[in-house]
Amino acid sequence: MSSEECIDFFFKPESIALIGASPNPEKLSHTILESLRKMKFKGKIYPVNPGYREIEGLKCYSTPGEIENKIDIAIFAVPAKAVLEVLRGHVENIKGAIIVSSGFRETGLGGKKMEDELKALLKEKGIRAMGPNCLGIYDTVSNVDTFFIEREKIERPVRDGVSVLTQSGSFAAMIMDELANEGAGIARVVSYGNKVDVDESDCLEFLARDEATKAVALYIESVANGRRFLEVASSCAKKKPIVALKVGKREPGARAASSHTGAISGMYEAYEAAFRKTGIIEAASYEELKDACKVLNRYSPVEGKRVLIITDGGGIGISIADACEEAGLRVPELSETAVKKLKEKLPAFASVRNPVDLTGSVRNEHYVAALQETPAEEYDLAIVSLLWGPPLLTGGVAGKIRDFADSCGKPILISSPGGKFSRELASAFTKTGMPVFFTPESAVRAAAVLCGGKK
Amino acid sequence: MSSEECIDFFFKPESIALIGASPNPEKLSHTILESLRKMKFKGKIYPVNPGYREIEGLKCYSTPGEIENKIDIAIFAVPAKAVLEVLRGHVENIKGAIIVSSGFRETGLGGKKMEDELKALLKEKGIRAMGPNCLGIYDTVSNVDTFFIEREKIERPVRDGVSVLTQSGSFAAMIMDELANEGAGIARVVSYGNKVDVDESDCLEFLARDEATKAVALYIESVANGRRFLEVASSCAKKKPIVALKVGKREPGARAASSHTGAISGMYEAYEAAFRKTGIIEAASYEELKDACKVLNRYSPVEGKRVLIITDGGGIGISIADACEEAGLRVPELSETAVKKLKEKLPAFASVRNPVDLTGSVRNEHYVAALQETPAEEYDLAIVSLLWGPPLLTGGVAGKIRDFADSCGKPILISSPGGKFSRELASAFTKTGMPVFFTPESAVRAAAVLCGGKK
């Protein structure tokens, strides 16, 4: 079955039914209802629970069949057994299901049997499904949020360009929380858990043609259908960057991955080869995948590996240069012409090499001058690292660097190490939409992703 | 000259003179005076400036010679030329100098000449000196703080066991700020800049016999006297762990390091060999050095490389296991006995392998049970990773895990990824003195340091 027409509705639903809705704030379903409302979901919401006539001001239905209209997404937030029971009833008006319930394949043989039955029921009723054992969809484009963890616990990122696909719900929650905390956004997140039906290839196929998605980040424990994945990923990678983290690379990670969603995570080497073949950029670590999301929200990969480093902290500049070399990037010496131009425009205290060190006497305009005077043909991307100690360095520098980035067309990555004060000043960059990284190595990880990933 | 008796006074001064003291809040010297007072420095403070009779309620002297008593530390916060002028005068009562001023060797030939003169003058007058071009000392033991960057910009860490030695002032400021921001402490920090006199070996010699220092973190651009460093480091490493980051490893990092403090940073391979020979643990990156500081504040290195992983997020557990394998650590399978014991004490939803996955249904006591039931002889250290989504997981778990860590004697490292909510809950661990790491990889970097560092 081609999923072409089949799964798009998950990302632009007009109606959502919440099976197992409850007025009890301790129930997961209550959190989901709250999440949908906080997202200002524009479509219809139908609570379903035979025990209530009304929940939170919404009419409550006994069964999905009782709802007169079609249901784009039915969120199942009931125990595993109840999922099967509901599906045995009248569910002809349900197009898609998101089954957040656990208690299936991941729990062993009994669960595996129930999941087989689930699969058969879904097929029989013609329902496409995500899950079970998942968090579902967080979508800043369609304003859908089926995550059953409160916003007080897991922050929701604002809208941006990267979409995330993941089996692991805990991974989805973690990266959303951290991106939001670092001021970064996201387009859509899908946590598809045990993949009883919809899998990474289905989602990737949709994201490939999704205008709201600028790049895709994949967290992979295992791939269901290798051949289809290769096709879909190759085709998607031609249109937009895909970055992937394979986890469970070797024993014992692989062992744990197998128990976690009941899947068998294949040999890592096969995945490496597949990534190379399809043009997927491989992330070396969780940290790199997160850094990739931040940088791909704004920039596209570049040809070349030459990094220009501009800093006001000599030690940081050297650490960044070291990390670049380590990651297979180059920090080329500047040409004589460039050095001459820089010397003319920068004060004598500046060290005019690559890294350019503007020292603690720096002013905002020196950062801009260093960028403007370095000939564009001498580097492929720049890391601009700011320590905020210098009294004449202010948040005002952000707008100016952003303007330069817009006009020069090359990725400019901001590195701003430090604590509270630094983060506050660095938020001036975040506000302009520029990605900010908090350690020398994280900026370099992002640069490495733009330059094609793992050596 | 043996520095044995010579530099200890820098770390227990009874009197500090501030050359170039000023009531003008925009002057560096003003920030230093404020820093000393905020540290509640118990000794005498003598402002020196011929332009004032009194500064901030303290009697101000025209010259250091005018001060009747001996001066343990004279902080020079005046331009390079003025440093030389003052030293040409009556300075017989000065034992040690911290010359924060820049404008010496790092600026080129003219500066080099001035630094040569500085060196000669210091020798002639019998004054030991740190700097120039440095931040000096931040010391939670002696309550000294000569850093001229305000606390609002660079947070000061609380007292703890690791001391940091660095040429780079920006590095010193950055790591202090970040450690403080992550709730971690420090013993003493020395930023010695151009090393006209006191160098890493002098400081290391002191720290080796310093009871307040539990471990040493070194940031090295270059080492002045290789033979002496080998001796001192070997002797220190026998008493307490030393972890070192060599920056300027290769071109072009090396090129930048050379311009930064005017030193020539030797071949990286020589440093690697020296680290191995002396028993120094090498940190692979800035991030690893920071993680090392956090973990060495509480734990000592272990024999063995077997890591027990306990988590409530399957995906995170796998990521940690992957990162362990990547770092040369082992995540051994648990014995049948261990699995049996764990199965008895843990609920059926838990996955009883290594990583142990307690899932989103976890309660505080399950973490404790997982630690208690795993036989101590099956691992060398444990990484306990908590996602705080589960409603029955609370900050109360921290005290219980801390109690277990105290009784079992093995390092227990806490990993708590996520944003604001997670950091707040994780602070329950920080308060008990346990180190907390915010990404899967950072906990593993710390574990790798305890297991001996780079593969």
CA angle A271, A273, A276 (to 5 degrees): 110
Q: d(Cα A266, Cα A318) in Å, to the nearest integer?
A: 39
Question: Hey, are the CB atoms on A354 and B154 less than 8 Å from each other?
Answer: no
Closest-CA distance of chain B to residue A38, Å: 18
Q: d(Cα A310, Cα A331) in Å, to the nearest integer?
A: 11
Q: d(Cα A453, Cα A449) in Å, to the nearest integer?
A: 4
Best of B167, B170, B272 to disrupt the A interface (most A CBs within 10 Å) is B170
Best of B153, B166, B246 to disrupt the A interface (most A CBs within 10 Å) is B153
Indicate whether A1 pLDDT > 50: no
Q: pLDDT tens for residues B26-54?
A: 899 999 999 999 999 999 999 999 999 99
Question: Hey, are the CB atoms on B387 and A170 less than 8 Å from each other?
Answer: yes
Q: Which residue from B minimizes the CA distance to A420?
A: B181
Indicate whether A345 pLDDT > 90: yes
Q: How far from the centroid of its chain's Cα atoms is residue A267's Cα?
A: 24
Q: d(Cα A320, Cα A261) in Å, to the nearest integer?
A: 38
- Assigned token pair, B9: 């006074």
Question: Hey, are the CB atoms on B286 and A166 less than 8 Å from each other?
Answer: no
Query: Helix (H, G, I), strand (E, B), or coil: what is residue B86?
Result: helix
* Amino acid B309: pLDDT: 98
* Amino acid B107: pLDDT: 84
Percent of chain A with pLDDT over 90: 88
Q: How far from the centroid of its chain's Cα atoms is residue A42's Cα?
A: 24
Q: Beta partners for B412?
A: B382
Mean pLDDT of chain A: 93
Chain B hits for A155, Cβ within 8 Å: 419-421
Phi, psi (rounded to 5 degrees) for B388: -95, 15
Please count the residue pairs, one from chain A and one from chain B, whose beta carbons lie less than 8 angstroms apart.
252
Residue type, A419: G
Closest-CA distance of chain B to residue A210, Å: 27
- Assigned token pair, B34: 């404020």
* Amino acid A256: pLDDT: 62
Question: Hey, are the CB atoms on A322 and B287 less than 8 Å from each other?
Answer: no
- For residue B368, how many other CB atoms are within 10 A of its CB? 16
H, E, C per residue of chain A: CCCCCCCHHHHCCCEEEEECCCCCCCCHHHHHHHHHHHCCCCCEEEEECCCCCEECCEECECCHHHCCCCEEEEEECCCHHHHHHHHHCCCCCEEEEEECCCCCHHHCHHHHHHHHHHHHHHHHHCCEEECCCCCEEEECCCCEECCCCCCCCCCCCCECCEEEEECCHHHHHHHHHHHHHCCCCECEEEECCCCCCCCHHHHHHHHHCCCCCCEEEEEECCCCCHHHHHHHHHHHHHHCCEEEEECCCCCCHHHHHHHHHCCCCCCHHHHHHHHHHHCCEECCCHHHHHHHHHHHCCCCCCCCCEEEEEECCHHHHHHHHHHHHHCCCECCCCCHHHHHHHHHHCCCCCECCCCEECCCCCCHHHHHHHHHHCCHHHCCEEEEECCCCCCCCCCCHHHHHHHHHHHHCCCEEEECCCCHHHHHHHHHHHHCCCCEECCHHHHHHHHHHHCCCCC
* Amino acid A399: pLDDT: 96
* Amino acid B305: pLDDT: 97
Sole residue written with tokens 């959190």 = A31
Question: Hey, are the CB atoms on B249 and A170 less than 8 Å from each other?
Answer: no
Indicate whether B258 pLDDT > 70: no
Is residue A298 a contact partner of residue A435, using CB atoms and an 8 Å limit?
yes
What confidence category does residue B445 fall into, taking pLDDT thresholds of 50, 70 and 90? very high
Question: Hey, are the CB atoms on B153 and A360 less than 8 Å from each other?
Answer: no
- For residue A57, how many other CB atoms are within 10 A of its CB? 7
Q: Which residue from A minimizes the CA distance to B248?
A: A318
CA-nearest of B354, B78, B107, B65 to A348 is B107
Contacts of A340 (CB under 8 A, 6+ apart): none
DSSP B181: H
Indicate whether B256 pLDDT > 70: no
Residue A132, preceding peptide bond in cis (omega within 30° of 0): yes
Indicate whether A3 pLDDT > 50: no
Question: Hey, are the CB atoms on B315 and A152 less than 8 Å from each other?
Answer: no
Is residue B139 a contact partner of residue B145, using CB atoms and an 8 Å limit?
yes
Question: Hey, are the CB atoms on B170 and A360 less than 8 Å from each other?
Answer: yes
Q: So what's the ipTM on this one?
A: 0.90
CA-nearest of B335, B338, B333, B391 to B362 is B391
Question: Hey, are the CB atoms on A261 and B219 less than 8 Å from each other?
Answer: no
DSSP B262: S
Closest-CA distance of chain A to residue B175, Å: 7
What confidence category does residue B224 fall into, taking pLDDT thresholds of 50, 70 and 90? confident
Query: Helix (H, G, I), strand (E, B), or coil: what is residue B400?
Result: helix
Q: Which residue from B minimizes the CA distance to A288?
A: B441
Indicate whether B78 pLDDT > 80: yes
Q: d(Cα B136, Cα B134) in Å, to the nearest integer?
A: 6
| Side-chain-side CA neighbours of residue B112 (13 Å) | 6
Phi, psi (rounded to 5 degrees) for B67: -75, 130
* Amino acid B262: pLDDT: 53
Indicate whether B266 pLDDT > 80: no
Q: Beta partners for A58?
A: A55
Closest-CA distance of chain A to residue B414, Å: 16
Q: d(Cα B374, Cα A366) in Å, to the nearest integer?
A: 58
* Amino acid A331: pLDDT: 95
Q: pLDDT tens for residues A435-444?
A: 999 999 999 9
Is residue B130 a contact partner of residue B190, using CB atoms and an 8 Å limit?
yes
Question: Hey, are the CB atoms on A333 and B255 less than 8 Å from each other?
Answer: yes
Is residue B432 a contact partner of residue B399, using CB atoms and an 8 Å limit?
yes
Q: d(Cα B71, Cα B377) in Å, to the nearest integer?
A: 55
Sign, CA torsion B283/B289/B291/B293: positive
Query: Helix (H, G, I), strand (E, B), or coil: what is residue B385?
Result: strand
Sole residue written with tokens 């009556």 = B90
CA-nearest of A128, A139, A130, A180 to A156 is A180
* Amino acid B349: pLDDT: 86
Q: d(Cα A318, Cα A333) in Å, to the nearest integer?
A: 14
Q: pLDDT tens for residues A36-91?
A: 999 999 999 999 999 999 999 999 999 999 999 999 999 999 999 999 999 999 99
Question: Hey, are the CB atoms on A331 and B174 less than 8 Å from each other?
Answer: no
What confidence category does residue B377 fall into, taking pLDDT thresholds of 50, 70 and 90? very high
Largest CA distance in chain A: 80
Closest-CA distance of chain B to residue A146, Å: 15
Mean predicted confidence (pLDDT) in A345-367: 93
Indicate whether B3 pLDDT > 50: no
* Amino acid A4: pLDDT: 44
Q: d(Cα A374, Cα B120) in Å, to the nearest integer?
A: 41
Indicate whether B122 pLDDT > 80: yes
Closest-CA distance of chain B to residue A90, Å: 31
Chain A hits for B177, Cβ within 8 Å: 417-419, 421-422
Closest-CA distance of chain B to residue A348, Å: 9
Chain B hits for A290, Cβ within 8 Å: 439
Question: Hey, are the CB atoms on B259 and A353 less than 8 Å from each other?
Answer: yes
Phi, psi (rounded to 5 degrees) for B409: 80, 0
DSSP B6: T
Task: Give me the torsion for CA of A35, A39, A40, A42, rounded to 10°.
Answer: -90
Indicate whether B1 pLDDT > 50: no
* Amino acid B253: pLDDT: 57
Closest-CA distance of chain B to residue A184, Å: 12
Length of chain B: 455
DSSP B16: E
- List Cα–Cα distances, B197 to A87, B116, B129, B132, in angstroms: 80, 11, 6, 9
Question: Hey, are the CB atoms on B256 and A171 less than 8 Å from each other?
Answer: no
Sole residue written with tokens 């010297």 = B29
Q: Which residue from B minimizes the CA distance to A221?
A: B315
Indicate whether A261 pLDDT > 80: no
* Amino acid B304: pLDDT: 96
Mean predicted confidence (pLDDT) in A412-426: 95
Closest-CA distance of chain B to residue A422, Å: 7
Q: d(Cα B169, Cα A453) in Å, to the nearest integer?
A: 32
Mean predicted confidence (pLDDT) in A100-123: 94
Indicate whether A253 pLDDT > 80: no
Indicate whether A455 pLDDT > 90: no
Question: Hey, are the CB atoms on A353 and B314 less than 8 Å from each other?
Answer: no
Question: Hey, are the CB atoms on B313 and A170 less than 8 Å from each other?
Answer: yes
Which secondary-structure segment (H or E) carries B128? strand B128-130
* Amino acid A390: pLDDT: 87
Chain B hits for A256, Cβ within 8 Å: 314, 317-318, 321, 351, 353-355, 357
* Amino acid B261: pLDDT: 59
CA-nearest of A15, A72, A77 to A41 is A15
Task: Give me the torsion for CA of A48, A52, A57, A59, rounded to 10°.
Answer: 50
**Domains along chain B with CATH numbers:** 1-134 (3.40.50.720), 154-297 (3.40.50.261), 307-450 (3.40.50.261)
Q: What share of chain B is helix, strand, coil (3-state, %, to 5)?
A: 40, 20, 40
Q: d(Cα B166, Cα B187) in Å, to the nearest integer?
A: 14
State how beta strands A188-191 and A215-220 pair. unpaired
Which secondary-structure segment (H or E) carries B317? helix B314-326
Residue type, B344: E
Question: Hey, are the CB atoms on A321 and B256 less than 8 Å from each other?
Answer: yes
Mean predicted confidence (pLDDT) in A272-282: 95
Which secondary-structure segment (H or E) carries B231? helix B226-239
Q: Which residue from A minimizes the CA distance to B265?
A: A318
